[in-house]
Copies of this chain bind each other. A is one copy, B any other.
């Protein structure tokens, strides 16, 4: 018997979407597969998400929030860190998380990489969130900048090679850590 659509929450749908994606992969998962996993009709699911694209966006927003933004919040509020080292630790954590999930949660990382290319608005929001956290660190560390958000964004772009999902295929190289350290030394001299 079909579950009542009224009791189906957005979060339940997204959890089922994640499970289905991990099982079948991004390319092969359909809205019908997710409906089947939830034991509801395609039409019931459609009341919450109008297309596979919307479903992937919802799952990506949830995934980014849980896997990336939340652990970064802890680094952001770590009272033992300050100034340039605080910002470096923040970026190293961001890079470590991205590289970890590219290896260990391959299907959902592929989803995130695909959505990054296709859903500018969602990704702008996510990047905006990271820039906000970085700005807070700059301000708390009393790092001089006319416009902390603009400096944060510039530092974020200068380190794209290490955290942007389009570079994931390069992250297996052994010298990634050294290359980030070199870029960091260069830009740190630029803002200190």
Q: Which residues on A are within 8 Å of B, measured CB to CB?
A: 117, 150-151, 153-155, 157-161, 164, 166-167, 169, 179, 182-183, 185-191
Contacts and interface: CB of A to CB of B under 8 A. Distances in A.
Nearest to A168: B166
A157 B159 CA distance: 8
A95 to B, nearest CB: 13
B182 A186 contact: no
Contact of A187 (B151, B153, B160, B190): B190
A179 B161 contact: no
A158 B158 CA distance: 4
Contact of A190 (B166, B169, B188): B188
Q: Is the interface of A mostly helix, strand, loop or mixed?
A: helix
A55 to B, nearest CB: 22
A182 to B, nearest CB: 4
A167 B164 contact: yes
Contacts of A189: 189-191
Contacts of A160: 160-161, 167
Contacts of A188: 190
Contacts of A159: 158
Contact of A179 (B117, B154, B164, B190): B154
A164 B154 CA distance: 17
A160 B179 CA distance: 13
